[in-house]
Structure 1
Amino acid sequence: MQGTTRLIKTWATGELGQDVLAGAGHDEAYDGSLAVVLERQQHFDAMREAGLIGADTRAFVPGATDSTDGSEGPIVLGYEGSLSDPGGDVQIGTQFFMQTQDYGTSEYLSLIGATLVRVIDETDFETFLEDADRAYLKGDLAEFATHPLVRLCDVTSLGSATPDRGPKLRLYVDAAGQISTSPGGAVLGKVGDDLETLEAEWARLNAASDTPCAVALAKVVPEQTRADALRERPWLAYYHSALAAVRDVRTRGLAELSEIHISGFGQRLDPDLEGADGSAHEARPGSPVLMWTDDQALVFDPRSEKTFQMGRPAARLAERLLVLGSVEAAAQGDEANLLKVEAFFQRAGVQLCVT
């Protein structure tokens, strides 16, 4: 069962995280699509014959007998329930349980285990935007969205900086044999089509949009509505990074949500930066997130998924570098210490400055 949680998160979110890479041992040099969910067991053989389920695939197949050694083919895990319809429980294999939920009612969730939260219609999408706006303007993040057990689905279509890797990463096959990257996604083909056919349609649909991942929510949110909302919020990728940052802090038991403040979300650690234009930092894909509580400060790097703890004086300098974009712009007679902070993060592979 090792890796099941990682691969389900990958399939649901569209993000290939560092934990997945570590578990898989490779990036894109895998055979078939990495994670595939079928609604009907009868489609398995045709998907395998078409090369969509390959030796490296983890396939989730309803009612199937588990085959987990992967020595001569894909790892197959049977499941009971639904990974596409919100509001129910899913059992994968014999030991792993998961909930699925629509975004609009997730505020009222009673979490009992791992949970996937899915945007299922335009109302859900509007609620997601309202939560993002409130967080950005007031620093008030939705509790469920930062819970360690929760993952928001299809984030590549919701403004995340992570590029969607399309059919090579994940596939969903509905009961009628239609194939997409997600349950709410545009149809890319049908059972029997090969990977090249699906990728060509995926590329065609994305080329028609000026915002990332026009596929994963195409059946549930009008593309013009989605694209307009993302363009109006160039900071959405930073919002997703902030959710991941707080989730990491909560997972590690470093702080509770009510204790955490996030730079750029209605406040700054350094009062002198209030009113400063941090738009370049917030719009930069993978930009680090600075947080603090009453007794500690932290920097989360979305690229490496690492969190760094530091004292407040150093954190204020890091914040100046992030918001103002360079040592020269941030210098206030303290250039030597700014350079030390910048050098520390550079050695850790983290870029604080925009330039």
Structure 2
Amino acid sequence: MISKKRHLMLWGTAGLRYGSDAELPGTARIVLADAAHLAAVRAAGLVGPHTVVFVPGDPDEDTGPQVVNYGGSLSEAGAEAVLDEAFYLQIQSYGLSEYMSVAGPTMIRIADESDFEVFLHDADRALATGEFPDFLTNPIIQLADLPGLGATGLADGPRQRLYVAADGTVSVSPGGSPLGRLGDPLTRLEAAFAETGVSCLGAAVPEDVRRNALADRPWLGRYLAAVDAIRAMRARGVSPVRVSGFGGRLLPSMDGVADRTDPDLPLVLWTATSAYVHSPLTGRTFAVGHSAAQTVEAFVACGSVTEAAGHVGRERVDRIIADFDGVGVLTAVAR
């Protein structure tokens, strides 16, 4: 069973891979800014037997789906939300997060176009130099609205998550484009979402600005996967760590080979004394020797056995494929 905290973070990020909630009736996760709206979202058919509804203060009723009380705000940058007086979640805007101390779990939002520009600057710097933002790779930090920032393969839309503002406006997230009004059925909200495309940041960043920026940076999904991988390493006490394709390579002969953009491809990470292969598809990380990591790096970046063999030799490529095939790490690599 997914915990309340996990449901809340999935609501904020749209972090489930596609199809995860598509077959369930109603919306998987709903956050209300006003408790008085609970009856209306139920009457509109947005609440199914598996729906989790986050309601400020004390809800009018506690039957049916799981209703989770929260205090504070889940939408306002600089605010704090609390669940059951036990879990505190800070909400911060991206642009200010570099200057704020992290005292506990924090969700970072793109609150406006200025935040978006800072996010892009940080991503560009990471690609060029290998330097990732320290605050963003903290294990207790989570970036919100990932589909709007270049993440692919994540489920988003009215069946996955909804936010109902205090004035009754319905969107998939606090920074999302309005999809309708309180009382609208799920079919109408889904139709509006399909017409607007990825709209989880539409009210915070002009859509043409966002789309153009992502089109210019087809590697942003891989950047976000690298951020997740570094977070996982820091949680294990491994830091600082380098990521292949971001500011350099572990294998010197690969320096001139451009990285690929598929965010599902494995990532090679290393320190001066250790190396790792991280699978974004499974979330698993494997400790390997530098030689094995270099072989994975060559195979993933080149995308073919023949080209990779030109850097490390055919025998090493064949051996690393055989070693990792059993755990599914290289399944995303075309051969």
TM-score range, shorter chain: over 0.9
Structure-2 residue corresponding to 1:209: none
- Aligned residue for 1:248? 232
Cα distance per residue 1:124-145 (max 9 Å; x no partner): 0000000000111001100111
Matched, 1:296 2:274: yes
* Separation in structure 2 between the aligned mates of residue 47 and residue 27 of structure 1, nearest angstrom: 18
Q: Displacement of 1:295 after TM fit?
A: 1.4
Q: CA deviation at 1:346?
A: 2.0
Partner of 1:199: 190
Instruction: Work out whether 1:103 is the aligned partner of 2:94.
Output: yes
CA apart distance, 1:187: 0.8
Residue of structure 2 in register with 1:318 after alignment: 296
Within-5 A mapping of 1:1-355? 3-16=3-16, 27-64=21-58, 73-206=64-197, 213=198, 215-253=199-237, 255-256=238-239, 259-278=240-259, 281=260, 283-332=261-310, 334-351=313-330, 353-355=333-335
| Partner Cα distance (1:76, 1:202) in 2 | 25
Question: Cα 1:77–1:51, aligned 2, differ >3 Å: closer, same or farther?
Answer: same
Instruction: Map Cα deviations across residues 196-231 of structure 1 (whole Å, 9 max, x no partner).
Output: 11111100111xxxxxx2x11111111111111001
In structure 1, distance between residues paired with 2:231 and 2:144: 15
Work out the CA distance in 1 between the residues paired with 2:76 and 2:153. Answer: 25
Distance 1:27 1:349 in 2: 24
Instruction: State the AA in 1 paired with 2:224.
Output: H
Quote the offset at 1:277 in angstroms: 2.6
Q: How far has the Cα of 1:152 moved from its partner? A: 0.6
Q: Which residue identity lines up with residue 289 of structure 1 in the other structure? A: L
| Residues 43-65 of structure 1, C-alpha deviations (whole Å, 9 max, x = no match) | 10110121212211111100125
Q: Deviations over 1:319-339 (max 9, x none)?
A: 110111111111147212211
Q: Give me the CA root mean square deviation.
A: 2.0
Q: Give the count of matched residue pairs.
A: 333
User: 120-129 or 91-100: which moved more?
Assistant: 91-100
One-letter identity of the residue aligned with 2:130: G
Q: CA offsets per residue over residues 240-286 of structure 1, 9 Å max, x none?
A: 00000001111222x12xx20110011000001111132xx2x1241
CA contact (8 A) 1:11 1:170 kept: yes
Compute the displacement of 1:6 (Å). 1.2
Contact 1:117 1:150 in 2 (8 A): yes
Letter of the 1:7 partner, please give it.
Answer: H
Work out whether residues 132 and 239 of structure 1, in 8 Å CA contact, stay in contact via their aligned partners in 2: yes
Cα offsets for 1:156-212 (capped at 9, x unmatched): 000112334311110000001110000111111111111111111100111xxxxxx
Task: Please list every run of 5 or more consecutive structure 1 residues that lacks an aligned counterpart in the other structure.
Answer: 207-212
Change (3 A) 1:2 1:16: closer
Per mean C-alpha deviation after superposition, the further-off stretch among 26-35 and 189-198 is 26-35
Counting aligned pairs with the same residue, the percent is: 40
Distance 1:319 1:289, change over 3 A: same
Question: 4+ residue runs of structure 1 moved beyond 6 angstroms?
Answer: none
The CA deviation at 1:27 is 4.5
Q: CA deviation at 1:353?
A: 2.8
Change over 3 Å in CA distance of 1:65–1:194 after alignment to 2: closer
Matches of 1:285 and 1:66, distance apart in 2:
43
1:10 and 1:17 in contact (8 A); partners too? no
TM-score normalised over the length of structure 2: 0.94
Assess if the C-alpha contact under 8 Å between 1:66 and 1:76 holds in 2. Answer: no
Match of 1:210 in 2: none
CA 2–232 in structure 1, closer or farther in 2 if over 3 Å, else same:
closer
Structure 2 runs not aligned, ≥5 long: none
TM-score normalised to structure 1 length: 0.89
Residue 17 of structure 1 and its aligned partner are, at CA, apart by 6.0
TM superposition shift of 1:354? 3.3
Query: Take 1:4 and 1:243, find their aligned partners in 2: how far apart are those partners?
Result: 24
